[in-house]
A and B are shown apart, each in its own frame.
Chain A
Amino acid sequence: MRKFAFVFLIPFIFAFADEGEIIDAPDFTLEDVDGNTVCLDSLLADGPVFMSFWALWCKMCIKELDALKPYYDEFDALNMNLLAISVDKARSVPNVKPFAQSHKWKYVIVMDPDDILRDLYNVQAMPSSFIINQDKQIVFTHMGYKPGDEEVLIETMRELFNEGEKDETGE
């Protein structure tokens, strides 16, 4: 019983202590499906970054990326970088690009077969989404996906730009 309590209490101690806390985003340099280098610093020079971790076997991840597809152009126009990080292992790599293109996704598809980025961002459940502001801070983290969750993501991204505008106008 003591072990049970210990195991289930650990995360709560960490959990509610850091809920809402703004965390610095770890740096990364990986490759996209076209072989281009994708580096967090250079992405942030253009604008904020949205990242969603997905895999070909993850039904909910695909639903999430499909649900966000209609909003891509809105945020792309605001210089936001939208990344879909594929954590498929090396054996599934040849299927990733054809799948993403067939779904007409415009996201930058980043390959993470060795779980480098997944490990850096402590991704424990799929999908997991992160929004990083231009100060290199993770301002939003979301684990899992249910139909309708995309509304919260969209709202958060819009708020990020509204706050940016307010800062610029000095309001």
Chain B
Amino acid sequence: MRRCVSYLMKVKRMKLASKTLFLLTVCNLLAASDIRVSGANHAEYWVFVDRRLDSLNYKEHLTEKLKLKVNYKDIMLKGVFFFWDPSIAVPGSLQYFDFTAQYRKDPVSVLYGTYYPTFGRGLVLNQFLDEDFNNDNSLFGLKADIKFFNSRLTLLTGKPRNIFFEQLSYSVKNDTTDQVRGANYEIKLPLSKKRVNIVTSFAGRYVRVNRVSDLTPQAFTELFGGNAGLTIGPWESYFEYGRQWGTYPVVGGRLKGDGFLLSTGLAIPGLGISCQYVNYDNIGFGGPGYRYNEPPTPIKSGVSVNRGIDEIGYGATVVASPFDFISLELSNNKISTHDASSGMFEEIINLDEDMDGVLEQIAKLTTHPSSNVEITTGIERMIKQGIELPIQEKIETKPYIEITCDFGLFFVDAGYEHNIVSSDTSDYYDHAVSLSIGKPEMFVLSVRYERRSRKPPDWLIPKLGEETSWPMVELSLDLTRRHNLRLRVGAEKGGLVCSGGVCRFEEPFRGVKLVLTSMF
């Protein structure tokens, strides 16, 4: 017995000694002049009315994301602590700690931990972090890059994870046993730099996703492709192709898909033109609600139809500033499912009634009648078919105007928008007025009032609520140049919001939001 106690004491002492040694090492490292510690923090606290709850009417929600980074010469250690704590037990809280250790000294970089790789424009692999949209698509594993002779080779392996915020809660969308392995090689060949800059670029890539838990024998998916680009002075063009060789779930057998993307643009002082054409047939790969590749959508507001499964579309944008005091933007973008009954050209341009798709048209004019006044006016029109189910067709036409006057010591911003909505279920309009007053380097106080002309139909009330007005007051305070505190009190309408082809339905909100953003 005595022997046992003395052994336990010894173990305790050894543990204490090792902890002390570790702390001393950390302190020593921190004291070294080459060490740099930096970071950022984002904290949010919400108190709001939850229509879905019968007994407890108010709900709280606390989110904290702390990023800390330590740099020592060519080594970087980064830790991200995330913590979400809602006031009700279901779905419960979510917390995680991500870390990344990286050695980077040109031309080599080796990384272990959480990272976000994108090959080309994302037809083959696109794992990204969209913090503004709360969409975290990461890989955890090993990545190595090497640069040589105008080229770069990337090799990676990792386990994917997608944390997504929807219906007022965070969830892990793809908690799978999938393993992603990939290689990407890019080369840039400058042909001339004398009179006109001429550059060509080529790339080739391969990704393999092994699905350990799939019931299908030998269940794996291969994605491969490449791209070619040419830049001649102000004109540039880019073509990317991706191909998928997959396995049909459970039944087995080869699932084939492909996709391509073509973009071209002209950029001269005062004029910018960009055009894009996309055609995807079973290139989008992932699971329900998530993708390992995220083929780009030409729609500026971020809407896609089915994220690379069956899509064809184009985008054309012209931005011109013929004079310094005026800027004009015109944009026409479309994406839809393929329509085999139409001709190729018709399929690209038209949005047939029977097809799921989105047509977006934007006209925007910005003028500066004097040096301290800016007026922005425009009209946005969007037709959505089969996007906001059960609404089959929805047409939104939104004219708007915004005037900003800068008086030096303070500024005033006033805006009005009128959204005329016509759908197969109901016709109505939303109109909103906003007024902001602010002082440079100090604060902005904003008031917004939005109103809908009628209640939604009864069958939509559980989703949209029966409110017809949304007043809101927001104070944004610059505590210092690196710290901002925002307090928002009031109501938000909610609805479908999208970013980069990923959409979610945002619940109507009525309550208080407190947001603190810092970098240090």
Contacts and interface: CB of A to CB of B under 8 A. Distances in A.
Contacts of B266: 98
Interface residues of A, number: 56
B121 interface: yes
A40 interface: no
Contact of B519 (A90, A93, A95, A124): A124
Contact of B106 (A12, A15, A19, A29): A29
Nearest to B436: A146
A31 B449 CA distance: 44
B36 A122 contact: no
Interface string B390-417: 0000000000000010101111010000
Interface in B27-68: 36, 38-43, 45, 62, 64, 66-67
B231 interface: yes
Contact of B274 (A18, A98, A114): A98
B273 interface: yes
A151 B406 CA distance: 12
Interface in B200-229: 201
Contact of A125 (B411, B484, B501): B484
Interface stretch (B167-175, B315-323, B463-471): B315-323
A151 B118 CA distance: 38
Interface string A16-37: 1111000110100100011100
Interface bracket on B: 35 or more
A23 B38 contact: yes
A89 interface: yes
B462 interface: no
Contact of A3 (B85, B409, B440): B85
Nearest to A14: B520
A35 B230 CA distance: 11
B199 A35 contact: yes
Given A91-B500, A102-B319, A102-B320, 10 more contacts: A23-B38, A33-B267, A94-B276, A98-B267, A101-B234, A102-B327, A128-B519, A149-B440, A151-B440, A152-B441
Interface of A: 3-4, 7-8, 10-12, 14-19, 23-24, 26, 29, 33-35, 63, 89-95, 97-104, 113-115, 119, 122-125, 128, 140-144, 146-149, 151-152
Interface of B: 36, 38-43, 45, 62, 64, 66-67, 69, 71, 78, 83, 85, 106, 116-118, 120-122, 126, 128-130, 188, 190, 197, 199, 201, 231, 234, 236, 238, 263-274, 276, 294, 296-297, 317, 319-321, 324, 327, 374, 404, 406, 408-411, 413, 438-441, 444, 476, 478-484, 500-501, 516-520
26 contacts: A10-B41, A10-B64, A14-B520, A15-B480, A16-B480, A34-B199, A35-B201, A89-B500, A90-B118, A98-B272, A98-B274, A98-B317, A99-B274, A101-B267, A101-B269, A101-B271, A102-B267, A102-B272, A102-B321, A102-B327, A104-B324, A122-B67, A146-B438, A146-B440, A147-B404, A148-B411
